[in-house]
Amino acid sequence: MASSSSSSSQVKYDVFLSFRGEDTRDNFTSHLNAALCWRKIVTFIGGELVRGDEISPSLLNAIEGSKISIIIFSKGYASSTWCLQELVQILNCKRMFGQIVIPVFYHVNPSNVRKQSGTYGDAFRKHEVRYSKRKEILQIWRNALTEAANLSGFDSNSIRPESKLIETIIEYILERLNDMSSSNNKNLVGVAMKIQKIISLLFNNSNKVCKVGLWGMGGIGKTTLAIAVFNEISSQFEASYFIPNIREASNKHQLHHLQKELLFAILEDAHINIRLTFVKERLGCKRVLIVFDDVTNLKQVRELIGDLENLGYGSRIIITTRDKQVLKNCGLNDSPIYEVEGLGSDESLQLFKQHAFRQNHPIDEVYLKISERVISYTKGLPLALEILGCFLLGREKYEWESALDELKKSPNEVIQTLLKISYDGLSDKEKTLFLDIACFFKGWDKYLVGTLGSHIGVCVLVDKALITISHNTIGMHDLIQEMGWEIIRQEPINKLGQRSQLWHHDDVYSGTDKLRGMLFNMVEMREIHLNPHTFSEMANLRFLIVNNFDLRHDNKVHGFDNIEFDFSELRCLCWDHSPFPSLPLKFDPDNLVVLKMKNNNLEQLWTGIKNLAHLKYIDLSYSKHLLKVPDLSKAQNLECLILEGCTSLFEITTPSRNLNKLVNLNLRNCKSLISLPNGICKSKLLKYLRISGCSKLERLPEDLRNLESLEVLEAIGISVRTIFNYVCLTELPNDIDKLSLLEDLELEGNNFQSIPSNIMNLSKLQILNIRFCNRLQSLPKLPRNIEELRADGCKLLKALSDTFCLFKHENKGAGKPQGVMCFPGSDIPEWFNIQSSGSSIKLPQGLFNKKFLGLVFCVIVEVEDNYNLDNFLNVVYELQVKGVDVYITCDKKLLSLGPMYIKSDHVLLGYNCNSLDNELFELPCDKEAIISFNPKNNLEKFGVGDIMESRVKNIKKCGVRLLFTEEFEEPMKRSRCSIFDEEDPEEECNIHRYV
């Protein structure tokens, strides 16, 4: 069994009160219970039992379902066999589940309870007569009294008056509940760090009223974190109140009732009007802590408390919500908005075990393997872990297997209902966009999806935590996506339109005029032959997407180019690796918005002039047989034209009048192209122009410098003789600073000897690539915002002439190291006081404290002998802190430099002050920690996939220096190094720096 049968109860109460009714019901116990209830401590007392209930199951469940049991030992307690049975059960729960037991000796001597003397002795003499034939039960009761009396508790004879005794007990219970609320979290190091991070946000300034928002998807743990923070800091305020479930209360028109409770808690006045000036003045005199839980709009907060700024100096406000826009409306900017993220796999397993097994001890291998299936299914969502854990508690292994098999067929209704709340708050258009993403566009570029649907709609879905954006790619939690699928299965077809995925041969022939989209997965399809009328009944088809991730499957579909259908309502055609030489003859792109067909066999798309008024995005990358782009004269809304790698393309006949909205033109490696589109320089919105590798370009437009919006100009290794009408590639233009919006300048492989000094005026420039510029001898001072300089292969480069400071103390956001430099070498500087031969370092204990700022690291990497110019130096940096029994990852970042052209060992040297974000110093200083550097090739977790294959063969050495406030400046000064002081004709110079 997964757990004992008695573990079937869930925790329902904070405190269970065990007492002798005749002794204390109408005096001490009633006063204690009232004080507990006033402090919002959920309490169970014996008087709540239905008359006639026996000790089991109602009372047993109440005891088992409580976090703390308080035993009020009064003079007559031992005379009640009911009380003695309660006591035995309470102590059982203490042993089995770690329940906290607190004895209160009310006008009795603890030794009388311990030794069963005095009134307790009198009671047992009577029990011995009644239970003369059941002496074993008498011994159990005696042992229970002795055990309980030996526990730490409270003596009414020592703490007087009675009101002080009650207040002392209350404060102790609050402290223990606070510990318990975060005890599970304290076992989960990452969760404890979240709590401390939120607290630091609340107290990082002395504003009159400091507000912090907790934002994230449903079930991610916002309320749990808010409760833990509230319990930990509420004692520091004159008054505090936690307002739960505001969304639900608002829907039930109960906000006025909540308002009265809130104001009573703060001002202790049951008859009050928030609109009165006097009331506002009273609020302004109180330093309070208020948590507004599950807020859906600003109006709710105002109805409850009015203007938050009216609260007293030093007040703190926490707002939890699924909608980021709500926090902005409440006056929170990005800095105090804390995004609550899911749990890691180790923490997920610990949390699941706490609910499925009621303990966190090792479990047998079979249960562990099934538990890992649950962890995989829930993807770090605490709500799902708790619900499934409670559901599986006490069940046999075969029942676990059956339950997980059922989840594959239909999702858990409780989880789905809670997740669907965010969806229900969307407009109809936003709902449609969400469902389209759930079915078709998860993993797509956010710009592309916004182009198809709505850019503001994508932002709304992000704000409501229904989707995520990472590296410009749309993500969606698996359970959120499953919720979307379930909505589609249940909603009428005529309301939402039909979406279909993973179609097979027979399904294609059962088309419907309600069909909205089709997604083919080539891996799961068998060979099919389309007849010319396959799509004839699909008049409302909007999306046709063919996923083909494996080239072995690219010829499974036959006959598409002979389809007798115009696809006139189609908005998106996505078919990478298409095997057909052209689109169907009747193909009508009248409503087409996105055309994405990479790595195809197309020779042409269509003939003649088509109405392309809606077309915004074309990506025909690596269409190696494509000779010409069709006439785009009616594509006046075209924003993006990507033709990279179209090696046969020699002409683009785009009239100048239709380039007004073009933002991105990518012609990289179009080796047969002899000229750029006419009127390219009249495009006022063009930001990205990539012409690297266009080796047959005869000339560049004379007015290229008129591209006032240009941010990225990439012209690596092109062979044209003139640029900007008057400058040869052996020299860069003196007025290069005219391109004031330029962010990325790619000049790899050219022959200029110097760079104009006015390049420092390009204030937005972040990336400068001058790799393999073999004649370049020196660099001027570069712009202060430069983030990356690539200069490997510059054999004559000898000096930097005050180019930049290597390190720059500014926060560039989570997930990206603040500073990294790469240069030849095989030794770690001696000022790295913690060094190791190998790839990991165990940090000495006791280093994390309030002065901890960050760390400087140094890694010696060995590179592969056989290299490719497209390979990178990739090293994964990871910090792990030891939890209860495992190491938990606290920070993990990718250090990626390249593509690189190097032969020998290299040094990666840099620093990171935003990795820990000063969270660890709130943890016990004796925490063990390990820093490791891993040359991993699988970088999908970091959103870069396999395209950045690593050249790192091995980590030879590593070093770390922890930085503290008083010594930060000194190592930074030491780190300003010139790597070009020594000449080495056998080694190309390399420098990379990220800020």
Residues serving a catalytic function are 86
Which among 979, 539, 865, 81 has a CA at the least distance from the CA of 988? 979
Cis peptide before 57 (omega within 30 of 0): yes
What residues have CB less than 8 Å from 921, skipping those under 6 apart?
Answer: 848, 849, 850, 851, 852
Burial of 69 (0-12, 13-18, 19+ CB in 10 A): buried
Cα separation values, 765 from 736, 737, 784, 793, Å: 12, 10, 9, 22
Ramachandran class of 682: left when φ > 0, alpha when ψ lies in -120 to 50, beta otherwise? alpha
- Strands 315-321, 515-521: parallel, antiparallel or unpaired by DSSP? unpaired
Beta strands in 436-501 (DSSP E): 468-470, 473-475, 498-501
- Judge contact between 861 and 906, C-beta under 8 A: yes
Tokens describing residue 734: 């003196």
- Strands 993-994, 819-824: parallel, antiparallel or unpaired by DSSP? antiparallel
Tokens describing residue 17: 């009160």
Which among 167, 159, 161, 154 has a CA at the least distance from the CA of 39? 167
Amino acid at 301: V
In angstroms, how far is CA 755 from the centroid of its own chain? 42
- Judge contact between 523 and 552, C-beta under 8 A: no
Cα separation values, 285 from 264, 270, 278, 313, 993, Å: 15, 18, 11, 8, 52
The dihedrals phi and psi of 818, each to the nearest 5 degrees, come to -80, -30
- Judge contact between 872 and 899, C-beta under 8 A: yes
Instruction: Count the neighbouring beta carbons within 10 Å of the beta carbon of residue 763.
Output: 12
Which among 568, 615, 643, 611 has a CA at the least distance from the CA of 451? 615
In three-state form (DSSP H/G/I as H, E/B as E, the rest C), the secondary structure along 911-942 is: EECCCCCCCHHHCCCCCCEEEEEECCCCCHHH
Residue identified by tokens 């503001």 is: 456
Burial of 648 (0-12, 13-18, 19+ CB in 10 A): middle
Task: Give the span between the Cα atoms of 4 and 6, in whole angstroms.
Answer: 5
- Judge contact between 946 and 940, C-beta under 8 A: yes
Amino acid at 66: S
The dihedrals phi and psi of 487, each to the nearest 5 degrees, come to -60, -45
H/E stretch holding 211: strand 209-215
Amino acid at 409: K
DSSP state of 893: E
Beta strands in 697-828 (DSSP E): 712-714, 744-746, 767-769, 788-790, 819-824
Helix (H, G, I), strand (E, B) or coil at 374: helix
Task: Give the span between the Cα atoms of 8 and 395, in whole angstroms.
Answer: 10
Task: Give the span between the Cα atoms of 94 and 252, in whole angstroms.
Answer: 40
Buried b / exposed e over 611-630, threshold 16 CB at 10 Å, is ebeebbbbbbbbbeebeebb
Helix (H, G, I), strand (E, B) or coil at 841: strand
